[in-house]
Homo-oligomer: A and B are copies of this chain.
Amino acid sequence: MNRQIHGRPYQVTEQGPLFTPCAPHSVLARLGDKWTILVMSHLAIAPGYRLRFSALKKGIEGITQRMLTRTLRNLERDGLVIRHYFPEVPPRVEYELSEMGASMLPALESFTSWIRNNWPQIEENRRIFNKAQPIDSE
């Protein structure tokens, strides 16, 4: 019998439910990488959900040209961001949240809202855990 939770199908077997790796992970893995959420957030508050490359680079502290390019390529590849190239001299490139990218914002906000509310406790838990287990401290 096939059921789903968290967008993840699982088989109900005699030994219990059996999960197999699937779609949601490959999206969460993208959002979980170092810069993606920062880029998404920055576009989310931009007029028209749109910014040029240099504006993103200036607005995100510590990101390198290479990592910004890679992050944007990944988002473009998934169709969350649209790349607008203007063949001028010097060149100008703007990045815009796609309709699908913008449609993710409410769900993302509800989730990050949970994180915001629970972050102090998580931080405290980590501190306590690290004190008890001085190995593997971050």
| A residues adjacent to B (C-beta < 8 A) | 4-8, 10, 15-21, 23-25, 27-34, 37-38, 40-42, 44-45, 55, 58-62, 73, 76-80, 100, 103-104, 107-116, 118-119, 121-126, 129-130, 136
Contacts and interface: CB of A to CB of B under 8 A. Distances in A.
Given A5-B45, A42-B17, A27 B62 contact: no
A120 to B, nearest CB: 9
Given A78-B125, A79-B125, A110-B111, 20 more contacts: A4-B116, A5-B41, A6-B109, A7-B112, A7-B113, A7-B119, A8-B37, A8-B112, A18-B60, A19-B42, A19-B59, A21-B62, A23-B123, A25-B34, A27-B115, A28-B37, A73-B136, A77-B129, A79-B122, A107-B111
Contact of A16 (B19, B59, B107): B59
Contact of A108 (B29, B100, B111): B111
18 contacts: A5-B109, A6-B40, A6-B41, A10-B45, A15-B59, A19-B61, A20-B61, A21-B61, A24-B115, A25-B34, A25-B38, A27-B115, A28-B37, A28-B115, A30-B32, A77-B125, A107-B110, A110-B111
